[in-house]
Amino acid sequence: MKRTNMILSVLLAAQVIVFGLGYVFCGSENVNKASRKLLLSGMDRDSIESLVVEDKDGKSIKLTHDKNGWSLPDKSGFPADAAKVDRILGKLLGMESVYVVSSGTSHYVDLEVAADNFRRKVTLEGPKSKKLLIIGKAGSDGYTNVRVDPGPEVYAVEDLKAWELGTRASDWVKRDYIDLDKKRLAKLEIHGGEADIVLERKNLAEWSMNGKPVDKKKADDLVDKAVKIEVSDVVGLVSDGASKNKVDKGKTPLTLVLSLAAEQLPDKAAAPAGEEKKESAPPEINERHVIHLAIDPDKDTNVYCYSDDSKFVVKVDKWRVKKFFDTTPDKLAPKK
């Protein structure tokens, strides 16, 4: 009998603990696990003209849509990555409530869906509708707390996290500012640094400098960084003198010239069996790309950049292009 009473006492204590935890985190409100519903039902994707994301630190990004697609109006109209925007819009417009976390205002701060305490605010606007989503933290079950303002209910939703909604330009654009075919690169010139460097293909495959061999690994590393340069932020238009001067009159300005052959070049110099390798004719060049770089004097980790093929001046993380500023002809010499 005593054993039975002890078991019943333990079960009762467990129920009290569970009830207490539920009251602490949900108050006297019941968690409503009703059938799912679309939180943005009636909003048509094709009618959305603007998307604004704001984080808790006050940083924000705005995207607008017109006949030319999505762009960043506060970043000189730099084009957004349509695939990224479509993916996020698909998540937002397809967002369903798993259950109602709270139906009142008393837990907004704890759930981080208050007007002044949130993870993200997302505003979607079209000609006839406007919706404000307040996105909070994720619960212990992995679902994210979301409120559709001005409604009082807080919903648990899946497949959406606040960090997916960035507030930097690089979160929404195609990051490849320069994206060229490495196998077509026949010549790389670096002007304006410690000394001019000109790398050329020898026998169509091997890199050389002034007709002399170079360290293959170091040359390949320079080439890899030249054919692919990624954006970290958008500065402005090349036509805007102030933006362009950040490069032209910046710290340690450099110019890269990339000459591309009409066709991909071989990885290795080939010769028929039993024959020595012969000097090949220089490849036919049908493209040249000129890229200008300069270190940000106010923040040494940034580099300003523009290409003669682009109308935009951008920022690049310095570590991506640092070797162009540091490399000298002596450093490219092959190891003895």
> What DSSP assignment string belongs to 70-81?
EEEGGGTTEEP-
What integer pLDDT is reported at residue 230 of this predicted model? Answer: 97
What integer pLDDT is reported at residue 243 of this predicted model? Answer: 97
- Report the residue count for the chain: 336
What integer pLDDT is reported at residue 206 of this predicted model? Answer: 86
- Same domain for 298 and 248, yes or no, is yes
- Same domain for 129 and 185, yes or no, is no
Cβ 305 vs Cβ 253: under 8 Å: no
Q: Rounded to 5 degrees, what are φ and ψ at 73? A: -65, -30
| 111-119 contact pairs (CB < 8 A, 24+) | 111/136, 111/137, 111/145, 111/154, 112/136, 112/137, 112/145, 113/145, 113/146, 113/147, 113/154, 115/149, 117/56, 118/56, 119/55, 119/56, 119/162
258 by Cβ neighbours in 10 Å (0-12 / 13-18 / 19+) ranks as buried
- Same domain for 127 and 229, yes or no, is no
The answer to the question of residue 7 being in a domain is: no
- Between CA 47 and CA 130 the distance in angstroms is 11
Give Cα 123 to chain centroid, integer Å. Answer: 20
Which of 140, 171, 202 is a domain's end point? 171
- Same domain for 73 and 216, yes or no, is no
- Between CA 267 and CA 286 the distance in angstroms is 20
Query: Structural domain of residue 167, as residue ranges?
Result: 29-171
What integer pLDDT is reported at residue 201 of this predicted model? Answer: 87
What integer pLDDT is reported at residue 319 of this predicted model? Answer: 96
Tokens found for residue 282: 């220089």
Which of 143, 171, 199 is a domain's end point? 171
How many beta carbons lie within 10 A of that of residue 295, not counting itself?
A: 21
What integer pLDDT is reported at residue 64 of this predicted model? Answer: 98
- Same domain for 165 and 193, yes or no, is no
- Same domain for 326 and 256, yes or no, is yes
Cβ 85 vs Cβ 172: under 8 Å: yes
| Number of separate domains in the chain | 2
| pLDDT averaged over 10-residue windows placed end to end, the chain, 336 residues | 49 43 42 74 92 97 96 97 96 95 95 97 95 96 96 95 96 96 95 88 82 91 96 97 96 96 77 53 88 96 97 97 93 86
Helix, strand, coil percentages for the chain (3-state, nearest 5): 25, 35, 35
